[in-house]
A and B are shown apart, each in its own frame.
Chain A
């Protein structure tokens, strides 16, 4: 598709429950990024993929967060045993390597609320 798609739009979980978010990058884009936005404006980079390979995971809280990008499937971000502080909007972004631009295009986000 021509836009980054993210599902679900909203997700509510009780503390300790699992949350799974999905992202379909723009068709032809080989790089996928996950970001967490808390408190309205604070963006935090979590992880990036080049195709199905993890490219950079320096931002991931590894003990509870995991992510995958498998061929022919949406990418996913999973949070085991959610905590209150995981409440945020999670954005996925993608870009391709054709042309000279490395502009990341953002999806609409998934708002996770942990109660």
Chain B
């Protein structure tokens, strides 16, 4: 049984601060890791994908992957109120469908 665990939150962060979102996964064979953002009533929107150990930066977002610890994280720098959403960690093994965590509800306080 493949599992992806996230803290459901809510995680409350002041505007301008760094938001740190964490995710662990159970399947050591997992190869692809994704962070999606989902606003209420909308479809998931890709924020970052990461495939190898280390950090990957894209604008204000940094994804971190540690396969030995089976851990993925997302950092959001200079948090904005528009970043308030649910962040879904998703993991893929081979050509399988994505296994999602339950999501972390992030609130950026103006």
Contacts and interface: CB of A to CB of B under 8 A. Distances in A.
A56 B96 CA distance: 7
Contact of B103 (A41, A104, A105): A41
Size class of the contact patch on chain B: 20 to 34
Contact of B95 (A35, A43, A48, A107): A48
A107 B97 contact: no
A56 B97 CA distance: 8
B25 interface: no
A91 B97 contact: no
A72 interface: no
Interface string B12-40: 00000000000000000000101010100
Interface in B81-99: 86, 88, 90, 92, 95-99
Majority secondary structure of chain B interface residues (helix, strand, loop or mixed) = strand
Contacts, number: 56
A102 B38 CA distance: 19
Contacts of B100: 35, 42-43
20 contacts: A35-B97, A41-B38, A43-B90, A43-B98, A43-B100, A45-B96, A45-B97, A45-B98, A46-B97, A48-B97, A56-B95, A56-B97, A59-B97, A93-B98, A102-B95, A103-B34, A104-B46, A106-B43, A106-B45, A107-B43
Interface of A: 31, 33, 35, 40-43, 45-48, 50, 55-56, 59, 91, 93, 101-109
For the complex of A and B, the 5 pairs showing the least CB-CB separation, nearest first, are: A45-B97, A43-B100, A41-B103, A106-B43, A41-B102
